[in-house]
């Protein structure tokens, strides 16, 4: 297993366009998280799944953002009608469900909205 992988690594899009990112977690991990990180800040929680169920969404997550994990494996994060303020690094992490186990992070997708 090569760890958590995210695709694409970089995305430049025009304001108003839709974008979709993919995350492939570590195969035996049933929890999957999405975070957003802007320059000089720590990662900020967006949402997480346990298997295919989306268990929590941040209040910061506008209705332009949607995430899915249809078969409990990979996940997608879609941003509709992108705005310049959406420019950030989008991080995915996965972990086992039980206890306070380590979350493993992907290298992220850097989104630039022009």
Partner 1 sequence: GNSVTQMEGPVTLSEEAFLTINCTYTATGYPSLFWYVQYPGEGLQLLLKATKADDKGSNKGFEATYRKETTSFHLEKGSVQVSDSAVYFCALTGNQGGKLIFGQGTELSVKP
User: From CA 108, how far away is CA 18, in angstroms rounded?
Assistant: 18
Nearer to partner 1, 66 or 103 (CB): 103
User: From CA 71, how far away is CA 88, in angstroms rounded?
Assistant: 27
User: From CA 75, how far away is CA 71, in angstroms rounded?
Assistant: 9
Task: Decide if residue 103 touches partner 1 (CB under 8 A).
Answer: yes
Task: Decide if residue 99 touches partner 1 (CB under 8 A).
Answer: yes
Instruction: Tell me how far, at minimum, the Cβ of 112 lies from partner 1, in Å.
Output: 17
Task: Decide if residue 51 touches partner 1 (CB under 8 A).
Answer: no
User: From CA 69, how far away is CA 49, in angstroms rounded?
Assistant: 7
Of residues 20 through 49, those in contact with partner 1 by CB under 8 A are 31, 33, 35, 40-45, 48
Peptide bond into 96 cis (omega under 30): no
| Residues within the interface to partner 1 (CB under 8 A) | 4, 31, 33, 35, 40-45, 48, 56, 91, 93, 95, 97-108
């Amino acid at each position: 297993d090569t760890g958590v992988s995210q695709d694409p690594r970089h995305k430049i899009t025009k304001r108003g366009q839709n974008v979709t990112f993919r995350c492939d977690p570590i195969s035996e991990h049933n929890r999957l998280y999405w975070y957003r990180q802007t320059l000089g800040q720590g990662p900020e929680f967006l949402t997480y799944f346990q298997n295919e169920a989306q268990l929590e969404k941040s209040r910061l997550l506008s209705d332009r953002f949607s995430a899915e994990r249809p078969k409990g494996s990979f996940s997608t994060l879609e941003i509709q009608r992108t705005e310049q303020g959406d420019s950030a690094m989008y991080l995915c992490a996965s972990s086992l469900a039980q206890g306070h186990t380590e979350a493993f992070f992907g290298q992220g997708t850097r989104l630039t909205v022009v």
